Amino acid sequence: MSMTRFCEELTALLPRLRRFARGLTQDSADADDLCQQTIERALKARQQWQEGTRLDAWVYRIMRNQWIDEVRARTRRSQTFAHEDEGMNVGVAGDRDAENRVELGNVERALQRLPEDQREAVVLVMVEGFGYKEAADILGIPQGTLTSRLGRGREALLRELGEAA
């Protein structure tokens, strides 16, 4: 595929990418930052994309890895922060969760509470509609690991939403 078609297909993917970003980050500003960074990375690496492979899976992988980097960086920052100011509230998500609890829908709250690895599995399969194999490829994990994370995430969501209902 020519690079022109690459760009066309990437443009067509943007709405879905944004949805996935929101699913990963659970925050619209974070999601849009993540989207922008992902587009930049994908464009920079566009010569490396191999024709005949799924462009969506390729870009999703970039986005997911970018987000993992971001989560790690935030964890480091918040750890430093907690270390320096013992007793202060820690964790960006924790703050927001506490503040916004009343406004958040049940689903959003339940998703936010999921561990990162379960959330990405749930979102890829149940929202983005990837098969188990493709989702496992995007995450770089064996399919068995994917289904186990998916099962646990689902269970937690069902429990939470069941309670909330």
- Indicate if the alpha-carbon torsion angle 151, 14, 68, 58 is positive or negative: positive
Alpha carbon 39 to its chain's center:
15
The contact pattern for other proteins, residues 75-114, with x = CB under 8 A and - = no contact, is: ------------------------------xxxx--x---
Is the Cβ of residue 3 or residue 73 nearer to other proteins in the bound state?
3
- Rounded Cα gap, residues 101 and 110, in angstroms: 11
Instruction: Confirm or reject binding of residue 142 to other proteins (CB under 8 A).
Output: no
Residue 34 near other proteins by CB under 8 A: no
Interaction of residue 73 with other proteins, rule CB under 8 A: no
Question: Considering the complex, what minimum distance in angstroms separates the CB of residue 99 from other proteins?
Answer: 19
Determine contact, residues 59/38, Cβ cutoff 8 Å. Answer: yes
Task: Give the C-alpha separation, 12 to 119, whole Å.
Answer: 25
Verify binding: residue 35, other proteins, rule CB under 8 A: yes
